[in-house]
Structure 1
């Protein structure tokens, strides 16, 4: 473990697992530094570079002085082993904040988001919060897929927490260590009843996989993660508020955006028709 600065007590801990994210970690940390808040709450940013073969850790450490200038503490932990659950647990073990924000390295926050999350979580009762996810894509196929995905009721009407979720101290007490499962975000989300989850209006940018093959790979992994949680933690499913996706809505989307719907439906069909491969943490980039 490398402690970049002397530890100080923090009100907010931002835990950021990063595996071979040299191309993305700078943008993620720059966006955090551009945040307007969160006011008087002390902030620590804990980057967990796990199983990296690149300079993710070194690039993260380069932000130490700028974070110190804001009164924030930066800690960089290097783990030789890969695996996101282990990285999350290492970050939690090092964290001192009552509010925990778990952030993927490819996510970029907007300036208002941290303050809004902290405000939503600054209560005694268990709470879970996330921002308004903006699905980003670059290539034509992924852009077409994203146009439909952002209109799916689960992404549009509830608090999905993709790539970024936060909990207060009472909420974090709902579970112990992160288990070795595929979908940490779903696992945490389902620790909370729908009324205990709050979406804040500030958005964040969450990029999806690029290209047909990677979209299929990631969609298969997402489906496997849902099935795994249902099998291992059936009691959590009672907290699921995933809305239905009526045929009438699907037909409306298909009429308004036939290309996007063809890509979206084609990926789903490909996942059903092809066997499951070994799952890992890759986002398919």
Structure 2
């Protein structure tokens, strides 16, 4: 049986659409869904419980995604295991495609779906930013930024050994070598982007802060090989522009967002504050 663990902090507005999408095609006893409501002050638990016995709801007073994932693991019944953010939309058919790829004899330990970003209604600078972001090699090939990662039992042991980090999805992606992870083209997840420039910047500040935390952790455990990274280089942007010079305005917007986020993240990094979660509310609105 495939277990799906969904950490949820105040996701009452959106978790219903995810659960409905997962349940509509599911056969009896095909999937085991565990929703872990962590530090919620809204109706997340009640909304999830309305889906009936197919969804088991746990509640924790601690508003921690890492703690919620581990609590969900304690109650999950089987493997493969799929971790899903509450604010995305994923169907059972996509779960099937993700878990099928984990049985590949090539030794794939972790999979994630292709992402779909509905940008209608987003500010023009947000659309410009994602026009570049979606083309970056690390973004196309990595498992992060999708809100979904599926692992085999061996892959789960790799994730369970990771320390609690703000950049949990990036750390999870980098925990697997390129030949151990796969983006499954037959599976898709809808990831709702921020609609406004300030909300995009909040997301990027969080990303810049959490990436720095991950790099600090990597420096504490040095190895013979350079630590893997997903940072965007000048070479990455240069290659995009050579391939399509029409991207120049979008690249300028991308750089503006990156510089702004890096500057605003300095205070948190200096204070070693890796627990303040700058949340984008615009993507959670109907």
Answer yes or no: is the 8 Å Cα contact 2:166–2:210 preserved in 1: yes
Tell me what 2:167 maps to: 183
User: Which residues in structure 2 correspond to 1:23-38 (within 5 Å)?
Assistant: 23-35=13-25
- Structure 2 residue aligned with 1:44, among 17, 32, 54? 32
Could you say which residue in structure 2 is the equivalent of 1:283?
Answer: 279
Secondary structure at 2:144 match in 1: coil
Q: Secondary structure at the match of 1:265?
A: helix
Relative to the length of structure 1, the TM-score reads: 0.82
Could you list the structure 1 runs, at least 4 aligned residues long, displaced by more than 6 angstroms after superposition: none
Write the deviation string for residues 1-28 of structure 1: whole angstroms up to 9, x where unpaired.
xxxxxxxxxx211000111111110111
- State the match for 1:17 in structure 2: 7
Task: Please list every run of 5 or more consecutive structure 2 residues that lacks an aligned counterpart in the other structure.
Answer: 282-286
TM-score w.r.t. the length of structure 2 is 0.82
Q: Give CA deviations for 1:84-115 in whole Å, capped at 9, x if unaligned.
A: 11111111111111211000011112453111
Please give the alpha-carbon distance, in whole angstroms, between the structure 2 residues aligned to 1:98 and 1:216. Answer: 37
Q: Shift of the alpha carbon at 1:200?
A: 0.8
Count of residues in correspondence between the two structures: 266
Whole-angstrom distance in 1 between the partners of 2:244 and 2:103: 42
Other-structure match for 2:188: 203
CA distance in 2, matches of 1:250, 1:176: 36
1:152 to 1:114, Cα distance in 2 relative to 1, 3 A: same
Q: More helix by proportion, 1 or 2? A: 2
Aligned to 1:224: 209
Residues 42 and 148 of structure 1, relative CA distance in 2, 3 Å threshold: same
- Give the SS at the match of 1:269: helix
Residue ranges of structure 1 left out of the alignment (5+ in a row)? 1-10
Q: Distance in 2 between matches of 1:41 and 1:199?
A: 26
* Equivalent position of 1:107 in the other structure: 88
CA contact (8 A) 2:108 2:181 kept: no
Q: Give the distance between the partners of 1:230 and 1:241, measured in 2 at CA.
A: 8
Q: Which residue in 1 is equivalent to 2:60? A: 79
Q: CA deviation at 1:41?
A: 7.0
Asked whether the equivalents of residues 114 and 146 of structure 2 are also in contact (C-alpha less than 8 Å), the reply is no
Alpha-carbon distance in 1 for matches of 2:204, 2:56: 33
Counterpart CA distance in 2 for 1:180 and 1:88 is 10
Question: Aligned residue for 1:260?
Answer: 250
Question: What's the RMSD between the two structures over aligned residues?
Answer: 2.7
Aligned-pair CA distance for 1:40: 8.7
Q: Structure 1 residues 87, 157: closer, same or farther in 2, change over 3 A? A: closer
